[in-house]
Structure 1
Amino acid sequence: MAAEVGLAAFSSIVSEGVKSLFKPIIRQISYVFKYQSYIDGLKDQVKQLEHKRERVEIPVHQATQQGDEIYKDVADWLNSVKEFTQGAAKSITDDEDRAKKFCFKGSCPNLISRYKLSRQAAKAAEAAASLVGKGNFSNVSHRPTPKLAEHIQVKDFEAFDSRMKVFQDVMEALRDDKLNIIGVHGMGGVGKTTIVKQVAKQVMEENLFDKVVMAEVTQTPDHHKIQNKLAFDLGMEFGLNENEFQRAERLHERLKKEKQLLIILDNIWTKLELDKFGIPTGDVAEKDRKDDQRRCTIILTSRKQDLLRIDMNSQKNFQIDALPPKEALQLFEEIVGDSTKISAFQSTANEIVERCGGLPVALSTVANALKTKELDFWKDALNQLRRSDAREIHGMQANVYTSIKLSYDFLESEEAKSLFRLCGLYSEGYVIQVSNLLRYGVGWRLFENVYTSEEARSRVHRLIDNLKSSCLLLDGDAKDEVKMHDVTHVVAVSIAAEKRMFNIPNVADLEKKMEETIRKDPIAISLPQRNIQELPERLQCPNLQLFLLFRKGNGPMQISDLFFEGTEELKVLSLTRIPFSSLPSSLGRLINLQTLCLDWCQLEDVAAIGQLKKLEILSFRYSDIKQLPLEIGQLTGLQLLDLSNCK
């Protein structure tokens, strides 16, 4: 019995051994007679690989469009897939017909070709399956960590002696690890921002600090905007539902991780509680520094020395003065760029420079306005600068206002002037989106002989270039953005008001201010960056053509059903961050409305838009809207519908 069991075991072992011995031989034979199965297997794997590649390429393309960086392993995988599908796999499938041909005058198959092709197909199928398995990526991209030194532009910095002295003094102060807060002050338009931008660039080039972050504060500090800019420079993002205090805590923890950190807060007007933004200061910063040699240094710029010294406790302050006469004339001549013209107009040029008071912002606007003009224009400009009735606004010197107004007057087209006034309806210090200028300009019919969206876009970009070349607009942080110097903004608001276009400031009694404005028969009203809970019951502006409300925050707000009664001439309406259960019934009376922007809003019933028969541009960007109403089909003239980033 034991012998039988042993024999059975021995037979089993021999059987398995024989199988393993013949398995490679069987596989080799199968390459000849099952070649079509191997080819089909390869084709199936290639098909699966193509599907997987499509699932990866779509988010990769979207990420690239947003400026994100693709992970290296994702890029390498896509390259491997491309090489495989265009190389080995394609070569094998192309050779399939050759393997099907018969030899010996058609009497038998070409066994050698089948064997080679089958074997190649089997190996290629395994490679394809491996690539499919490696193509499972949870994320394909990441937002690149911004490098301030790379995207910061300091094209207005001139290495004049007066500027280099301040620049070198600030750099020397930054090397003193006993200094935590450094102040830079001077009047508006003197070049404070330009100096600190150059400092930031130099600091990064010398690796004096591990990280440099910078944000503009302005007259009405917006905590979210400042926190967002600091977070962007750090390469971090906030959640949509995080409140101001949660954001401050997260930002504080992130800033503490940097061993050597420089924070620049530009253009402050009032005392700031830095800890509310999330910026470590005082005892906290000192404790961090002593504990592990960490260092956080802050540069503040302001027009007010006492604000820096007393309220913000800056330990060292540097004043930037107006350019001395020699440097002012040199800057003017460099911008004009025509030495022959300067020589011919020398006496006129000298007085123009003198009238600009040594302020770079005034010198650059006047020089850019005059550099292509002849003597009569220069003399006319000087006469305007000599005017004794040139106004003073918000403490601005009269000659500064006149110099900027002069550049505006010298704009070659009424369209450029209209666009400049439109920019004056934004809040001081805020970026201006070019796409919004396009939509408002089209709806308001600012552009002549423009019939398509593409033509309008080209016109807007040309006009913006015109305003930039006149130093009336500045480059923004992003491609689709522009900015306006705060001194220029004051002038823009004043010029716009002369044309009955009113930028209503953040006043306590909004209703009273609105009544005063309505009595002036406005054609445009803007309420920029306001914490508004309620508007007047009726607007009642019979000649109003444009109404903009850029609201801060997301709290409750009421707009009366009667609000738009008496505003039937309205052509452009933009309402931001407003919760609507339904649109005001009086909205349907706006029969001339051509641009409607309801961005960052909470929207439920929007059926009323079906009554706006002349509507050409409709935007719901970043809004919470579940579905479009059937009534949208009645908007037969609609040219642009923007649903980007809708929840």
Structure 2
Amino acid sequence: MGNIFSVSLSLDPIITRCSDCATGQASYICNLEDNLHALQAEVAGLKAIRRDLMSRVRVAEDEKQLKRLPQVDLWLSRAETLINDADQLIVQGPQHVENLCMGGCCTTHPRSSIKFGKQIAKKLLEVKDQKENGDFSGVASKPPLPSATERPSEPTVGLESNFNKVWSCLQKEQVGIIGIYGLGGVGKTSLLSQINNKFHDTTHDYHVIWAVASQDRPIERVQDQITERIGLSNEGWKSKSLDEKAEGIFQVLCKKKFALLLDDEVAPTLDDIWGWFDLTRAGVPLPPKENGSKVIFTTRRFDVCCQMQPNMDSNIRVECLPPGEAFKLFEEKVGSETLRMHPDICKLAEAVVEECAGLPLALIAIGRAMASKKTLREWEYATEVLRQSAASVLPGVGKEMYPKLKFSYDCLMSERVKSCFLYCSLYPEDYFIPKDELVDCWIGEGLLDEHTNLSSARNQGHFIIGSLIDACLLEKEGNHHVKMHDVIRDMTLWIAGESEKKFFVKSGIQLREQPKAKKWEEVTRISLMGNQIENLTEILECPNIQTLFLGRNDLKVIMDDFFNFMPMLRVLDLSLNQNLEELPVGIAKLVSLEHLNLSFTKIRKLPVELKALEKLKYLNVEWTHDLEMIPQQLVSSFSKLQVLKMEGCGFGCLLILEEMEHLRYLNVLTLTFRWVSELEKASRFNKFFSCAIEAVKLEDFRDSRSLNIMALAKLQHLCTLCIWSCMDLEEVKIERNIIEGAGCFHSLRSVTVDVCNHLRDVSWVTFAPHLEKLRIYECNGLEEIISEEKLGEIAELKGNLNLFSKLKGLFLDRLPKLKTIYHHALPFAQLKEIRIVKCPMLKKLPLNSNSAKGQRLVIKGEEGWWKDVEWEDESTQIAFLPTFKPWIF
């Protein structure tokens, strides 16, 4: 019984399995092994197709810069998934094959075998279908152009304000072209990159194009970059002419809203400095207001901005960094760890940053150079060489920084302009260089063209100064001075040191003794100005020197033989040596000298030996109060003299007026008159008095209580007039024939009235239509500036005087009785500054809400006085309250 039961149990599973095989799912088991082999073959084929397709895709993407088609990308992704799934099933196959029995039509594990068989059959169909869909005639296409392409950029410091200005301009419909200008290395390209990346990161409807305008074929280079960006570039493009390219670009861009970003430089090569760029010639439509297209460009030159578009509000200057941000940038490059290596290093770092004067290029270059310097002595040395304008000795600085800055110099219009620029480095660091003084030195050295008259030469000099300001190589300081950025000055000295024209410049470095040089014979210019040198007791053998600046020292003694070996010297400046009482007789050796400046010295006499200076064209003895002796016939011996400056000179001008009549080339004259009789007598020398005089000082005037301005009113070139310490002077007469005349005081720009206690008003200044500065000090009796009564008489004859229409500065100091400037409000169209100090009775200013409208006016004075000012109305008070700045004595 037991055996029969046992057999019965062992046959049960077989009967069940056979029953399953007889059902419709038997095929999954019966075909399992064949399907498994077929799947392996199909997968191998699919892998081969995938490899071939991937190879075609890589060639298209890497070599042709195309983008794979979405359907190809989808097929490859699907194939990858199928291959991975199929490989996993194939790995499991042998195990399921082993479970088959009865010729492969039954299995010991029916459920799992049927399930596996289904998976194999399904995957086989999917793989076959994927293979059939893998035939692509093309695998990639040109990608759609992005609206903007992100540019690599480092974090910046201090550009936020400029960025906001540019971005704000971009939002204005009426602005189509925006110029970004500034010194080389100040951050213009970084700013433009920020603008580009802002476009990349925000939603907008502009098509943004970045292009670099190079010096070599600028239009063609920009055209190529534009066509690449807008998808025009192809094999036949290079063979097209410039005009054909321009036409193609125009046809595309005129239908787009574009933002063209034109950069003038690419660090570190700086191949790409450029001037005015002709957008139309390149095929760029001038940005129309209709679609809001924009052009933003960078340049080192302000004049390029004006040529590209004259709207001043759309020309944005990138300034150097203020001290705090400059130090932050420097710290980023040098590393805070370095600054903590010694307690004094941080203080020295501040001095280094100060020498960089906020120029990012210098801060970065010197910061990197100092990053490895961990000792106090290294930092002390670096500070010393920077103060001596010798940054090129620091590792990498000379090669990294100066060549980039030098490109602006290389692009100056001529060798003449370059020489004039290099000359500016003779002045000390941070020195405000008077424009007229600079031009006169250029003339003395022969740097300018030969002109028929001095005025024409000066005009050329001022034109060159304007060009250097436009190139951001000089900085404008007011109307009459320029300044050279510290790093630009260092670069200039580096250029001069590398060139054949050797400079020896030790200005403003607190020298106490006469310095030494290895090869004086190679030096062409020497500047020792701004030091503390007392004695010049060693002969300088400088056969090639043409300029020698010794001004602003403490000179007491110049040995007689000091000038013996300077036969080529043309410009000598001894000014502001306030201990210098005597000139050496050896100055007669300077037979080539054309320019001699002795102003603000204590020279007591001019040596007769100066007669040897037959080529002298410029002699300045202004403010030499102690000068008592000028030998007879000395001045007349200077037959080529063009400029004679004697304002503030102690020697009476009447004594040499007759000699001046023999100076046929004299163009510029400044004089001091101490007596009315002197003035009247001098007015008879019409040649000089009407044509040559540029500045007059009226001093003392003890012989009269009134002054007839007839003698001064007709001076054609009178620019400055000073009335000083005329204690008896009560009035300046305005005569009817002057009023009715024409051309009175048309050149007068500056008037100073000082210590004239009996004057009641200065109404006569209404005759100076171009007056820019009016200074009145310590006039105890002055009650009003312009008398309404006198002005009424004048206006009756002259009509509308347009009073003070050009005035820029009004300075009133220690005028205890002053009550009125003028009784009515004035427009003050160009007024920049009013300074009122110790004028307790002046309660009302000639201002209303329209005065100085649109101008950045500053009013300085004592806070107590300001609180008591009476305003015409509330709107005037509101308009001018923010303009006040307390005057600090």
TM-score scaled to structure 2, two decimals?
0.36
Structure of larger gyration radius: 2
User: Greater helix percent: which structure?
Assistant: 1
Q: Which has the higher contact order (CA 8 A, sep 6+)?
A: 1
